[in-house]
Every structure is written in structure tokens, then in C-alpha cells.
Amino acid sequence: MADAAIAGVPASRPRLDSFWVVPPLLILAALFFYPLSLIVREALGGNEAFTLSHFSEVLSSRRFLDGLYNTIIIATCATAGCIVLGFVLSLVIAFVPFRGAKSVARLIDTFIALPTFLVTLAFTFIYGSAGLLNVSLIRLFGFDLPPVDFLYSQWGVILAETTVYTPFVMRPLLATFSQIDQAQIEVASSLGAKPLRIIRQIILPAALPALVAGGSLCLLLTVNEFGIVLFIGAKDVITLPMLIYSKAIQEFDYTTACVIAVVNVALSLSLYTLYRLIIAHFGGNRAGVV
């Protein structure tokens, strides 16, 4: 009797559970899928007949190709910078004993919460034409023009993005480093391994999943970065988000903007899929390894 009563309970559960999926789906549809569908619709001809002609026109244009090239180069270089800088800084914080290491780690968490333009603004104050560095150099050496002039170029964007997104690599890395068995490092050292070998053969393999996950996240974020590029105001640095902005807001060419937006979304989703696959690979297949 009791068994029958217990057995009867789960039967009515799934219907109730299914109901709760509806509100978030409705919100998602209203806020995300509907606007996205409008963009795709506009890119494919809008109110007129379905056509791919806008795509072929935009995708073959010099401006789009430059934008795509810039986007990929900036995102790749900034991500590489984040990985290298994040790994080195995390190593120092985690393995070099110094007073205040924990405070520095907490500060990095805070850094993630700051708006991206703040770093760009700071860069302008330091490296800009009238920034601290240039003014000091001009006073010291009497230059006619500001000698440091990288900020308004592709390299300025890369440096700013590297600075902003490095904490995204450091957070998972520091979490991983805190779990590495100190005894492994000590035993490796007792076996004759010098620090560089220990980093290469013991720490790096253990940190690889965190490094790849953090790096993938950085790549995803830098591909879509808009604020930093806009704030720096580098005239020759046109990325896909900047191109969408200029087409839609400055030129009122919504169709072209929508086509580029669709490409940007496809690029982002591809990167996100890659990110999930990497996480699944390390989280599943190599769970016992790291």
C-alpha cells in the first residue's frame, strides 16, 4: 500500500517540472531570440524576398575583410598575452612566498568587476600623447613629438585588452595552483629537477585545463570587445563590433550591420562551442589526471 503510494508520487512530478521551463524560455525568447531573429531576417532580405546577396556583397568587401582580420589578430594576440601574463603572475602569486600574496589574489578578483573603459582611461593618462610617460620623456630629452605612440594603434588595443582580461585567466589558474600537491613539487626537486623543469613538466600539465579554459574565455570576450576599441579611438583599428556600430549608428546601413552581426554571432558561437568542448574534454576525459 505504502509502496503504491510512494510509486504514485513521481508520476505527477514531470508535468509540474516541465511547467517551470516555460518562464525562462519566454524571457529568453523576448529578450534574445526575437531580436536575434529580426537581425537574421534583416540580413536575409528583410521584408523583401529571401536573398543571400547581402551576405555575398558584405563578405567580399574590403572593409569587412579588414575588420575580420583585425578582430582575429587582436583577439589572438590579446589572448596569447593574457595566457602568458596570467600564467607568470599566477605562478609568482601561488609559488613565490611573499607577504600579501593573498591580498593580491583578492585584488585580481576585484579587478574583474571594474568597467573595461577604466583601464583604457588609465592607459590614456599614462601612454597617451599628453600622458605621463610622453610628458616626462619630452621634458627629459626635449623631443618635439610624443615618442611613445602605440596607444592609438592595434598594439594599444591589444595591450589594453590583455590588461583587462588577464584576470580571467588568473582566476582559474590560481584555483588550480592551490590544488597542486606541494609534495609533487618537492619530490621533483629532490629528484634533481630545477624550477623551469618543474614548471614545464609538473605545474604546466596540471594547469593546462585551467589555462585553456581561461584562454578560450578571453578569446571569446576579445572577439566581441567593443568598449576598449571605441574608447581608445584608434582610427585605423576597425574590428567587427566597431564595423557594426559604424554601419548601424553612423551610416544607417542596417542591412550591412545585420549581416556583419550574424557573422560575429556565428564566430562567437563557434568559439563558445570550442570552449565547451575543451572544458568537457578536460573535465571528463582527464578528470583523473588533473
Partner 1 sequence: MVQAMVMERSLPAATPSASAAPADAVGGSRIGFENVSVTYGSLTVLQSLTLTVNPGEIVALIGPSGSGKTTALRAVAGFVRPSSGRIMIGDRDVTNLAPYDRKIGMVVQNYALFPHMRVEENVAFGLRAHGASEAVVRARVPECLAMVGMGAYAKRYPRELSGGQQQRIAIARALANKPQVLLLDEPLSALDAQIRRSMLDELAKLHRDLPALTVLYVTHDQTEALTLANHIGIMRDGRLKAFGGAQSLFRNPPNRFAAEFLGRANLLPVNDLQPAGEGRVSVRFGATVLKARNHHRLAKGSDCLLCVRPHDFKLGSSRPDANRLSGVVRSVQWQGDVHNVVVEVAGECIRLSSAPMREPPEPGASLDVHFDPADVTVVPEDGADG
Give contact residues for partner 1 (rule: CB under 8 A).
Answer: 181, 183-184, 186-194, 197, 201-202, 205-206, 288-290
Least distance between partner 1 and beta carbon 192 (Å): 4
Nearest residue (CB) to partner 1, 152 versus 177: 177
Closest to partner 1 by CB, 202 or 259? 202
> 209: burial class by Cβ within 10 Å (0-12, 13-18, 19+)?
buried
Least Cβ distance, residue 290 to partner 1 (angstroms): 7
Residue 99 three-state SS: coil
Phi, psi (rounded to 5 degrees) for 148: -95, 110
Is the CB of 126 or the CB of 187 nearer to partner 1? 187
- Report d(CA 79, CA 64) in Å as an integer: 22
- The amino acid at residue 39 is I
Closer to partner 1 by CB, 198 or 218: give it.
198
Residue 11 vs 191, nearer CB to partner 1: 191
Residues 6+ apart with CB under 8 A from 62: none
CA 10 → CA 2, 71, 151, distances in Å? Answer: 14, 51, 62
Exposed/middle/buried for residue 247 (C-beta within 10 Å: 0-12, 13-18, 19+): buried
